[in-house]
Structure 1
């Protein structure tokens, strides 16, 4: 290992931690955080460790079985937001480190600062509803923290399988009790991930038993995951919540949820999918007898910016300028569509126009993001020599041949299949929100990193497309990160002003707090999570927490 690799890794880790700490620090208590700051269903503020445990037990009886994640949330809400901000940023960094370990299939994550940086960028862009699952306290403890527990638990299994392939597997009997305990944590997490973890570890234990001597810690870990899963799904509170959310929903609703949840995940994974497509083409070109990636079939360098690319870049610049200057383009487009499309169709009722305006709030950031991704992908294809002739040559090699020839490709395919299974488990749930795909996205991120570090793919990208990928990452991440920090800071100020109104109403003995709506709507591709104070969940928790009866947002 080069000494410089260690320090570059440390620098990447510091940047990731500081970004996440900044977002956590700016993110106030919000929505469910107020409910969990009180002993469950009592309205009494949690003021001691015994209060944390009482709230945890009441939650288990009346709402759900996620005892591990709820304990972490309640504990940190009691001890203070500042401690949680630090811990949550650290947990996000730990998750990325564990994903690099799974991609490398060894502990030496510090040897590849580039892969850690790439993973950090892809995680920032690809985790669905990022602000909700990685920054917001009630969301991050469920999805981010559960993923950390599961990823840590699965590392010994992954490393043992690799050691078996190299003929160096050892029994490591001292892992018996730690793996059982970690299995309980991983299984007692979030429902679909808990099922996947148990099925995976039980299946791997059976497979290893067939291949040779089975270390006792492997089935012990699987039994721990099963115990955690049983404690999770058998909670009385699950049946209470299912009666409220799942009543009357037939199998077709559950199947429809699969299309919605997986579809939204794919939208967030667009950069990852394009990278996997590029890697697959590199593999097939490498195997083709009459072509190599980036041979004589590459476009001449003078064609880097045709009229199509120039127009796309001009539109991106226009939208970025508009986005940071009051979104004048989106406002003009909104007004034009209302006047010349909705009105002639008779769809200009106030409520309809309001919903349409809310959709248009996120138009520019989504347009910038999608146009930028496809713009840079067109440059990537050119840099790699993906012309019609070279791709025709690649198509002479089957995908099965590529999977057979490259172990990294097989490993990635297995992880993608596992991610889809992890999503399929959600068919048992009455709803399938995009945030529930968090652990599946984490698996797919491991898959793409495993492929990107394969010497065949890595060599082509570093030789021909390194500058293009760097420019794409810098441009897209700079836009989204700056927007997220600015919007989160503005949202914090808006939240503080309205929270002061609620506190003042409570001190004055008033039953209702009156306030103006929060005009800020942009969410930076959902890296910022907030809703106004009259939302049902937010209003109910705030009213109970501060002891008032209602919040009225003057529309």
Structure 2
């Protein structure tokens, strides 16, 4: 009876968690207006003709394949749902994010069970929300989400049976599943025909898992057909004539140093967004190392002795240290600046332009614009990092992870010993390595923006969840440290979630007024419209993505779609 009640509780908690994730994302999508590339995709590619039928959707996807790039599957989904209407697109996009959260949880647990760990599902969604670079651009904006979010979901779904098979192999189980031969082939095509770096990773993983299973007597036909499907999809992706057209436009005269620089910038940006994930992974590693060393642990005011006690190390009781004082001072300074015009970010911006970019001759308008765009979000991101670092500093004190205890444990237990002793640590290390290799695939690309690390970030999130799902790792976190983490997670979600909803709602109202103005002008026979500039550019840690209509993409696409000859927006007023 108790087990039945516990199962029902977990089922209800899972349903409630999934509903909350879906509802939040639905609200965010509902208020997110169409802009930028969305207008181009509302029309049959490069024809100026609005999509009005399923045949137009197919024709547009083919035109895009021939003229712009190989991502035909994602373009088809984008064109299809833009034609079906924004409300349906909003719901589908919210469902996709929920699906990704579920799949990341399943990969972390290496189990397809859905209702056993509702807390892990909530944590997966929260970490994806905090860690995915440029969240508004890759998971809410229609043209961006279909490229990144909608590519990751079929890819992670496709890889799940391979992951479960390798797990079953370790448990000495065998499963053939002959019925999965055709579905895995078709799903492999979708996974391979996604986005370039993820498609290569998926194909190589499927082939590698197939060969490994065959070597260990666990081969199943669906593994081979899935790998063949992924390879077919990858060929369809990279062989598109439009890829060569696009590369000629973007990749000309870019040597190996530019490609390496792109890798450093893209990987670096991913690591900055992954700060809370990486700190928790590092903490889990140090806790495992200390447990294996057998050193005594003092946490939450209690002394816990492990069986293999060797000697007693000195423990810090916590309190205000020089490091925490500096962090608190910076946090106060940046918070005051953020709410009084952003004068700290402006000072840093002007200093770098005058002292670094100008002497180097990097003063082209586009360079200055891109750097200014980065600095516009500097303070809110810095405040976010400082809050995380302060929480981390406090958590270390609660767990007794002092410099002395870390040093003593590291002297007795190497990282290799941690990996040998902990299957969860080995699996997490494989996921992190896989994410980094997934990014390295992009070294051949002419550009590598932070948003392209989407799938690698999701792999790193799965790595942390795999560690926290392990009882031996989870038990190392004290009750007070657990409460601190839950409180910090709630506050970060409340702050970023509320800000994203409010700002997106504001952008939606502003954009709706512009669409109404366009429709009124066209009804009067006018082809020129004048819009006031949107001055509020806060983006809630990039969870809000919207650019004013003076940018060439939105302006040109909207002019063609609405039949305008010009859209005028006043120039930006410097602060």
What is the TM-score with the length of structure 2 in the denominator?
0.90
Which position in structure 2 is the counterpart of 1:194? Answer: 199
Listed one character per residue, the Cα deviations across residues 341-392 of structure 1 (whole Å, up to 9, x for unaligned) are 9789997999799877655532331121011010000011011110122112
Judged with a 3 Å threshold, the aligned counterparts in structure 2 of structure 1 residues 322 and 478 are, in CA distance, closer, same or farther, namely farther
Which position in structure 2 is the counterpart of 1:418? Answer: 434
Judged with a 3 Å threshold, the aligned counterparts in structure 2 of structure 1 residues 383 and 544 are, in CA distance, closer, same or farther, namely same
Which position in structure 2 is the counterpart of 1:543? Answer: 559
Return 5+ residue gaps in structure 1 as ranges: none
- The answer on whether the counterparts of 1:179 and 1:221 sit within 8 Å (CA) in structure 2 is yes
- The answer on whether the counterparts of 1:173 and 1:217 sit within 8 Å (CA) in structure 2 is yes
Cα RMSD (Å): 2.6
How far 1:549 moved relative to its partner? 2.4
- In structure 2, C-alpha distance between the alignment counterparts of 1:223 and 1:229, rounded to whole Å: 10
- The answer on whether the counterparts of 2:314 and 2:404 sit within 8 Å (CA) in structure 1 is no
- In structure 2, C-alpha distance between the alignment counterparts of 1:355 and 1:41, rounded to whole Å: 27
- In structure 1, C-alpha distance between the alignment counterparts of 2:430 and 2:371, rounded to whole Å: 41
- In structure 2, C-alpha distance between the alignment counterparts of 1:355 and 1:504, rounded to whole Å: 34
Q: Equivalent residue of 2:40, what SS? A: helix
Counting matched residue pairs gives: 550
Q: Equivalent residue of 2:39, what SS? A: helix
- In structure 2, C-alpha distance between the alignment counterparts of 1:246 and 1:15, rounded to whole Å: 43
Judged with a 3 Å threshold, the aligned counterparts in structure 2 of structure 1 residues 120 and 337 are, in CA distance, closer, same or farther, namely closer
How far 1:258 moved relative to its partner? 0.8
Which position in structure 1 is the counterpart of 2:149? Answer: 144
Alignment equivalent of 1:75, drawn from 76, 80, 85: 80
Question: Counterparts in 2 of 1:163-312, with a 5 A limit?
Answer: 163-292=168-297, 294=299, 295=304, 303-305=318-320, 309=324, 312=327
Which position in structure 1 is the counterpart of 2:158? Answer: 153
Return 5+ residue gaps in structure 2 as ranges: 305-311
Which position in structure 2 is the counterpart of 1:106? Answer: 111
Structure 2 residue 451 is matched with structure 1 residue 446: no
Judged with a 3 Å threshold, the aligned counterparts in structure 2 of structure 1 residues 127 and 298 are, in CA distance, closer, same or farther, namely farther
- In structure 2, C-alpha distance between the alignment counterparts of 1:64 and 1:469, rounded to whole Å: 43
Q: Equivalent residue of 1:494, what SS? A: helix
Q: Equivalent residue of 1:551, what SS? A: strand
Which position in structure 1 is the counterpart of 2:307? Answer: none
Question: Counterparts in 2 of 1:392-471, with a 5 A limit?
Answer: 392-396=407-411, 397-461=413-477, 463-471=479-487
Judged with a 3 Å threshold, the aligned counterparts in structure 2 of structure 1 residues 340 and 243 are, in CA distance, closer, same or farther, namely closer
Judged with a 3 Å threshold, the aligned counterparts in structure 2 of structure 1 residues 83 and 317 are, in CA distance, closer, same or farther, namely farther
- The answer on whether the counterparts of 1:131 and 1:526 sit within 8 Å (CA) in structure 2 is yes
Structure 2 residue 335 is matched with structure 1 residue 328: no
Listed one character per residue, the Cα deviations across residues 267-304 of structure 1 (whole Å, up to 9, x for unaligned) are 11011110110011011001103344745768576x44
Which position in structure 2 is the counterpart of 1:377? Answer: 392
Which position in structure 2 is the counterpart of 1:14? Answer: 19
- The answer on whether the counterparts of 1:319 and 1:329 sit within 8 Å (CA) in structure 2 is no
What is the TM-score with the length of structure 1 in the denominator?
0.93
- In structure 2, C-alpha distance between the alignment counterparts of 1:256 and 1:476, rounded to whole Å: 32
Q: Equivalent residue of 1:219, what SS? A: helix
Judged with a 3 Å threshold, the aligned counterparts in structure 2 of structure 1 residues 407 and 341 are, in CA distance, closer, same or farther, namely closer
- In structure 1, C-alpha distance between the alignment counterparts of 2:498 and 2:516, rounded to whole Å: 27
Structure 2 residue 541 is matched with structure 1 residue 529: no
Judged with a 3 Å threshold, the aligned counterparts in structure 2 of structure 1 residues 344 and 308 are, in CA distance, closer, same or farther, namely closer
Moved more, 21-30 or 246-255: 246-255
Structure 2 residue 492 is matched with structure 1 residue 480: no
